Amino acid sequence: MTETGQQMSNLDKQRRRALFRAWHRGLRELDLILGEFADGEIATLSLDELQQFERLMEAPDTDVLKWIVGQEPVPVRYDTTVFAKILASRSARAS
């Protein structure tokens, strides 16, 4: 079983679904960004943060990627605690 598979077995249904969706976005680059973030954080997100994450995953892939890489400003609706955590996790990996 993969690390993600092992992790999924310990999560509630909502978190398992969010983790799966994070790894299956459609754009490989976004799969890696959101999937790796979810692998590390999904179990510890508060319910509010989990809902923020799910809402972010409803946005079009190309838009989310542009927001993450800074090509376009993040709309207020998506400029959340979770989005800041995603950006911070990217910065930490780049260091």
The pLDDT profile of the chain, 95 residues, written as one tens digit per residue, is: 344 554 556 788 999 999 999 999 989 999 999 999 999 999 999 999 999 999 999 999 999 999 999 999 999 999 999 999 999 998 777 66
Range of the domain at 25: 3-94
Domain holding 88: CATH number?
Answer: 1.10.150.250
Q: Which two tokens stand for residue 81?
A: 């605690």
The angle subtended at Cα 69 by Cα 42 and Cα 18, nearest 5°, is 20
Number of domains in the chain: 1
- Give the pTM: 0.86
Question: Are the C-beta atoms of residues 45 and 53 closer than 8 Å to each other?
Answer: yes
